[in-house]
Every structure is written in C-alpha cells, then in structure tokens.
C-alpha cells in the first residue's frame, strides 16, 4: 500500500512544503508559504491537506552540529503539535541538519529564490524520513 506524506521545513517567517510517497521513497518540492501576521498560513496549509490527502506529515527538527537542538527547535515542535491537532494525522519529526545547505547546493546558478530553497529543503527533509522510517508508516496502514 502506498502512503502519501507532506513534509515541512518550518521557519517563523516561511515554511517550505514538499509531497512524497512511500512506494518510491521520493519527494517533490511543492511551495513555500509565508507567515501571516507571525503565524503559519493555516488557510493555505488547509488547502494542501485537502488537495493531497496525506496519510502522515513530517516536520524538520533543527539541530546544531554538536547534536543539541537549535533555538528554533521548540517552535518547530509546537508547529508539529499544531499540525497533529488540526489534521488528526501522525506527525513525525526528523533531523533537518544541513538540508538548507544541500538545497542551496542543488539549485544551479546565482539567482536562488528563497521560495525554491525552502520547498527543496522540505523535499530533502521528507526524503530523509522516507529513507529512514518508511516501515513506520507501512506498519500503520
């Protein structure tokens, strides 16, 4: 059985989003949403949940290189809890270290739109989770 997931690269001003599935373990960048009055753009997230009907959600958890959680980690965890509460889907957290750096490296040329980078970081976050944990969702369905 194939399961669809949405991945999130959370930031206080913008959130990159990607979609992926367990059959191939791959993901594709969707878009980047800007915060609305300092809060996630829940209206747009609602639309993405409705459109894609994901079985689970994956949120990147920011860590420092010394294995400690970054100062943004509590906000990312809060966002993950809000997703779980609003959409009644399992939310997984995954170490997102270096995904933004990898996204910058993957986008060719000197003009790199932030929106492209955040959505690409979400893709990398989701693919990291898929490669490490796809048995978790297979066992759930």
State the CATH number of the domain containing residue 32.
Answer: 3.30.420.140
52 against 116, higher pLDDT = 52
> What range defines the domain where residue 113 resides?
4-136
pLDDT at 105: 65
**66 domain residue, yes or no:** yes
**97 domain residue, yes or no:** yes
**91 domain residue, yes or no:** yes
Give the pLDDT confidence of 25-67 residue by residue, as tens digits: 999 999 999 999 889 999 999 999 999 999 999 999 988 888 8
pLDDT at 141: 44
**141 domain residue, yes or no:** no
Give the pLDDT confidence of 74-109 residue by residue, as tens digits: 999 999 999 999 999 999 999 887 666 666 566 665
**119 domain residue, yes or no:** yes
**118 domain residue, yes or no:** yes
Report the 3 state secondary structure along the chain: CCCEEEEEECCCCEEEEEEEECCCCEEEEEEEEECECCECCHHHHHHHHHHHCCCEEEEEECECCCCCECCCHHHHHHHHHHHHHHHCCEEEEEECCCHHHHHHHHCCCCCCCHHHHHHHHHHHHHHHHHHHHHHHHHHHC
**Number of domains the chain contains:** 1
């Amino acid at each position: 059985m194939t399961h669809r997931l949405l991945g999130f690269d959370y930031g206080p001003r913008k959130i990159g989003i990607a979609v992926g599935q367990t059959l191939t373990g791959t993901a594709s960048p969707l878009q980047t949403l800007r915060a609305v009055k300092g809060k996630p753009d829940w209206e747009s997230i609602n639309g993405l949940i409705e459109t894609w009907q994901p079985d689970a959600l994956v949120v990147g958890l920011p860590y420092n290189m010394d294995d400690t959680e970054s100062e943004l980690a509590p906000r990312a965890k809060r966002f993950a809890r809000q997703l779980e509460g609003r959409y009644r889907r399992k939310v997984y957290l995954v170490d997102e270290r270096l995904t933004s750096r990898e996204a910058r490296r993957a986008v060719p040329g000197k003009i790199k739109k932030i929106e492209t980078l955040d959505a690409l970081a979400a893709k990398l976050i989701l693919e990291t989770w898929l490669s490490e944990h796809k048995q978790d969702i297979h066992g759930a369905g």
